[in-house]
Amino acid sequence: MPLVAHNDLPTFERLRAEGLRVLPTARALHQDIRELHIGILNMMPDAALAATERQFLRLVGESNSIAQFYVHLFSLPGLARGAEAQAHIDTYYEPFEKIREAGLDALIITGANVTGPELATQPFWEPLKEVIAWAEVAVPSTLCSCLATHAVMEFRHGQKRVPQARKVWGVFEHHVIEDRHPLVNDVNDLFDVPHSRWNDISRAQFEAAGHRVLAQSNEAGVHLAVSGDGLRFVFFQGHPEYDLISLLKEYKRDLLLWHAGKGAEPPYPAHFLNPTEQAILREYRNRLIAGRAGEFPEPLIERGLNNTWHDTAEAVIDNWMGAIYQVTHRDRRKPFMDHIDPANPLGINW
């Protein structure tokens, strides 16, 4: 069912041009279909701000749930922004206070770039804790992406992320290990997910916090977990929302930083590039060193890439939207219906 373009956010027009159904508000109001209000706390840096909007809105809008999706974007005051990004936020995003007052049916919290190993020293830590604490009691379900997963695990459960010797970076095969949960209904037993992180929360840490791990990788570790009640928190460590070229853009960024003397030379993302594409990038690297790099060969690389994760991402988000639809009602300030057991809203007999 469609997203509703309830403001002038440019991402709506971009998705409409891609063929996604996006309804104007006037048309949406004449359809007798229940609406769901989804919040997105976008903590990504300026360069990835709009892309992250687009990636998560696309997944929500591709859901087959019988609902109209009003998406409410907001950010945090502790995140440094350039003038252009701040103007975008000021124009299209909403204050957290307004969202908290109106209530949400579900919330997505994105990852973020951090400096240093400790989350508690980040300038956005206290505002993020406020959002998490509110969501835990007021929002039926919150989906945490990557760093947001690490933040909830530390803030609510004292489980701190563990730095890895090498970056978990690339496209990794995962397997479903809890196939009775509604979130993995009709999901292939084996599926791919991109990862891009230096830190990890292990299966043992999730289980120590009372959570259930639904899918993991032998190489990359846990990707998908849920809180003990099956719905209140959904945890991603990977990035199933990524576009086809997201990892390639990260490689370009890190390669240019290395060339500028900022950081180590990046490896190729694992299980993502074939030998021909690696050879093209190796040639670009050599030209970069020689001072005659020219344009980054993104078009040459992109034509050979394959997206092996998006269908599974769609299925999981579709299942999530369907579960949310079953436990919410029209008054978002009262997130659970009378007949729902908040301790086990999905009625799962583990």
Rounded CA separation 153/145 (Å): 12
Q: Is 239 an annotated catalytic residue?
A: yes
Rounded CA separation 180/178 (Å): 6
Q: How many CB atoms lie within 10 A of CB 276?
A: 11
Active-site residue (options: 241, 250, 277, 310): 241
Active-site residue (options: 37, 146, 154, 250): 146
Rounded CA separation 130/126 (Å): 6
Among 113, 87, 121, 92, which residue's Cα sits nearest to residue 12? 92
Q: Do the Cβ atoms of 201 and 149 come closer than 8 Å?
A: yes
Judged by phi (left if over 0) then psi (alpha if -120 to 50, else beta), residue 263 lies in left
Q: Do the Cβ atoms of 125 and 92 come closer than 8 Å?
A: no
Active-site residue (options: 72, 239, 277, 310): 239
> What's the start-to-end Cα distance of the chain, in Å?
31
Q: Is 195 an annotated catalytic residue?
A: no
Q: Is 30 an annotated catalytic residue?
A: no
Q: Do the Cβ atoms of 324 and 105 come closer than 8 Å?
A: yes
Rounded CA separation 328/34 (Å): 11
Q: Which residues are catalytic?
A: 146, 239, 241
